Amino acid sequence: MRGRIYQYAMTLRLSALLPLALAAVSAQQQQLPTINVDVDVVSVLCSVQDKRGALIPNLSKDDFEVFEDGKKQEIRYFARETDLPLTIGLLVDVSVSQEGLIEAERRAASQFFSQVLGKKDMAFLISFGAEAELLQDYTNSLKLLRAGLDQLRLSASHSGLHPGPVPTASQPRGTILFDAVYLAADEKLRGEVGRKAIILITDGVDQGSRMKLTQAIEAAHRGDAIVYGIYYYDPGFYRGRSGGFGFGMSDSDLRRMSEETGGRLMKVDRRRPLEEIFSEIQTEMRSQYAIGYTPANSAKDGSFRRLEIRTRNKDLKVRARKGYYAAQARP
């Protein structure tokens, strides 16, 4: 049964849906706690690429340097994250502008789940347009995930492309992109352990979210979730419609969410189909490193700390989250 998690007010909470328990955390994972406001160890997932974009999977602890707010930190924990449990939230844009792409998204996502999910991994599925719906809660079952994908349907406001009849609405609700990311990160992923990723398929346009872009990014940081943005749009829909919605198309918001959280933006086109992009994400998620350290700044002030991870080889590029929120002292 589809559970509506967002409509005209953020009163329906995803926490009302009982998530399935994740598999037991491995001994290796217990040594590498995720970023959490109640622990002193900060653990950051990262991937490394060479100049050609090829992933580098065989580095050691001594190859890395970590800086917090510009100050070098001592690395205490290090591991290659090839087998640790993974929790994936797939968020699919089903607004009016994406109607012609839904079937392709359904097929590619089904194939992705069948290839990426291991025995210890879990996934959930959310669609979003004028509202957001949890189509499938945490599961490891391909059958249930495919059933959820079969429920992907167009989600438009009552008046289609124009503002709805709600007098308090300051703008039409067409694609609540920021709200969907916020809810996935805050309600579904924040309390989970292990590696966590949000895969977001959208044309990058937000229309009518209650949350701002900065709030969606903050929720992802607090949920310790990497965002992989898949920029996918239907040229036929937008042809001749420039300005018709009161905004222009852009991948800038999607790019910022991805890069701030340690993910990346990928664009679907004729040379790079959706299936290929899913394959790239799968490979990257199985080629990560986990780096843990105890911050030299022990203040529990709840502030945002900027992170930078480098390799001693300057020709390599590290992709990791841009920061984390420090613990906050309890009253």
pLDDT digits (tens, 9 = 90+) for 223-248: 999 999 999 988 877 665 554 443 45
pTM here is 0.82
Exposed/middle/buried for residue 240 (C-beta within 10 Å: 0-12, 13-18, 19+): exposed
From residue 190, give the alpha-carbon distance in Å to each of 70, 135, 262.
Answer: 27, 19, 16
> Residue 240: its pLDDT value, please?
57
- In a structure prediction context, what are the per-residue pLDDT tens digits for the chain, which is 331 residues long? 444 444 433 333 333 333 333 333 333 444 444 444 445 789 999 999 999 999 999 999 999 999 999 999 999 999 987 667 899 999 999 998 898 999 999 999 999 999 999 888 999 999 999 999 999 999 999 999 999 999 999 987 644 333 333 333 445 567 999 999 999 999 999 989 889 999 999 999 999 999 999 999 999 999 999 999 999 988 877 665 554 443 457 899 999 999 999 999 999 999 999 999 999 999 998 889 999 999 999 999 999 999 999 999 999 999 999 999 998 887 7
For residues 192 and 27, what is the distance between their CA atoms, to the nearest angstrom?
16
> Residue 248: its pLDDT value, please?
57
CATH homologous superfamily of domain 85-241+253-285? von Willebrand factor, type A domain (3.40.50.410)
Q: Render pLDDT for 287-310 as a digit per residue (tens, 0 to 9).
A: 899 999 999 999 999 999 999 999
Residue in the block written with tokens 């492309």: 161
Tell me how far apart the 2 most distant CA atoms of the chain are, in Å: 60
User: Within a 13 Å sphere around the CA of 182, how many CA atoms are in the beta-carbon half?
Assistant: 19
Q: Which two tokens stand for residue 316?
A: 């390599």
The domain ranges of the chain are 85-241+253-285
Q: Identify the bridge partners of residue 139 per DSSP, sorted by sequence position.
A: 123
Task: Return the ∠ at Cα 7 (arms to 258 and 109), rounded to 5°.
Answer: 45
> Residue 34: its pLDDT value, please?
44
**Inter-residue contact 151 to 2 (CB < 8 Å):** yes
**Inter-residue contact 180 to 188 (CB < 8 Å):** no
